[in-house]
Amino acid sequence: MRIGILGGTGPAGSALAARLASIGYTCVIGSRSKYRSMEIRDKLVAKWGDLADLLECADNPGAAECDIVVIATPWDSAATTAQEFAHLLEGKVVVSMANALVRVGHEFQPLVPPRGSVAAHVQAAVPKCRVVAAFHHLPATELGHLGSPIDSDVLICSDDPEATEVIAEIVKKIPGCRPLDAGELSNATAIEAFTAVLLQLNVRYKTRVAPKLTGIRGDPRETKSAAAPVDAAPVSEIPQHRDGSPS
Ligand SMILES: NC(=O)c1ccc[n+]([C@@H]2O[C@H](COP(=O)([O-])OP(=O)(O)OC[C@H]3O[C@@H](n4cnc5c(N)ncnc54)[C@H](OP(=O)(O)O)[C@@H]3O)[C@@H](O)[C@H]2O)c1
């Protein structure tokens, strides 16, 4: 399986390419400039020589021809980039990892893009693709430290359960990562916005955090068809405050 990364020359895309290559996937680092892509690929191969056969460079259209395509551009160009290559992406699983954030002084604040999230905006731009939101919370530095596992959950959401499954299978192979099916693409709003909280914690505690959730045993996707937990009330029965939040 070949995985293409649009905007794969940045810290996040290049680290993801190296990490995915380290678990056996052929990764094509895409860029608006094939030369920049060559430069980044050369740097990665200089560091991780054994990945030479699995890392390729290309322009963005070359990366968009892959079986699965990740959009790793800044958030405000994710949807336009997807739209530019819509004809090459049709029918494919397209991963959106962008977070719409702004730094105001020492604070990170989430922005609300059109349709509530970058991922939803991308899905609207390429309606014939199966957009999956994933990888938002993995810090590029840890992603690129191939010698160390990444101790993190990876929240994945999509309107296409099969597409979620495809990405979960990939995440499962990344040492230390646990894929969690976080439901439909509408949840990308919360997932993306939560990144601002994580970055804020990084600043406060002078570290790089990654999320791990407690209370989930086994693979939640395997229990999906099982009966709902006995203490889970249907939404209509959950007492709510007047503003609609659960009491
Ligand atoms: N950095 C992290 O730790 C991290 C972690 C998780 C998720 N993310 C998300 O992943 C995405 C990439 O992060 P990053 O830090 O790698 O970003 P970045 O360095 O700002 O941008 C990545 C690449 O996008 C391309 N690009 C820049 N402006 C563009 C435009 N207007 N149109 C099309 N392509 C453009 C550039 O590649 P070319 O010039 O070669 O085309 C650039 O190298 C972001 O949306 C971010 O929110 C980041």
Q: Judge contact between 89 and 126, C-beta under 8 A.
A: yes
Residues in the chain: 247
Residue 218: the pLDDT is 74
What is d(CA 95, CA 156) in angstroms, rounded to the nearest whole number? Answer: 10
Residues whose beta carbon lies within 6 Å of some atom of ligand 1: 7, 9-13, 31-33, 36, 72-75, 77, 81, 97-99, 135-136, 138-140
Q: 16 CB contacts (<8 Å, ≥6 apart)? A: 5, 8, 27, 70, 72, 97, 135, 138, 140, 143
How far from 89 is each of 67, 68, 71, 80, 183, CA to CA, in Å?
Answer: 9, 9, 11, 13, 23
Residue 228: the pLDDT is 46
- The superfamily CATH assigns to domain 2-237 is NAD(P)-binding Rossmann-like Domain (3.40.50.720)
Q: Where exactly are the structural domains of the chain?
A: 2-237
Q: What are phi and psi of 130, to 5 degrees?
A: -105, 95
Q: Judge contact between 106 and 40, C-beta under 8 A.
A: no
Mutate to test the pocket of ligand 1, among 28, 37, 73 (most ligand atoms within 8 A of CB): 73
How does the average pLDDT of the chain come out, rounded?
A: 91
pTM value is: 0.92
Q: Judge contact between 150 and 107, C-beta under 8 A.
A: no
Q: Judge contact between 19 and 44, C-beta under 8 A.
A: no
Report, as ranges of residue numbers, the positions in the chain whose pLDDT lies below 50: 225-228, 230, 233, 235-239, 242, 244, 247
**Segment 7-64, tens digit of pLDDT:** 999 999 999 999 999 999 999 999 999 999 999 999 999 999 999 999 999 999 999 9
Residue 222: the pLDDT is 62
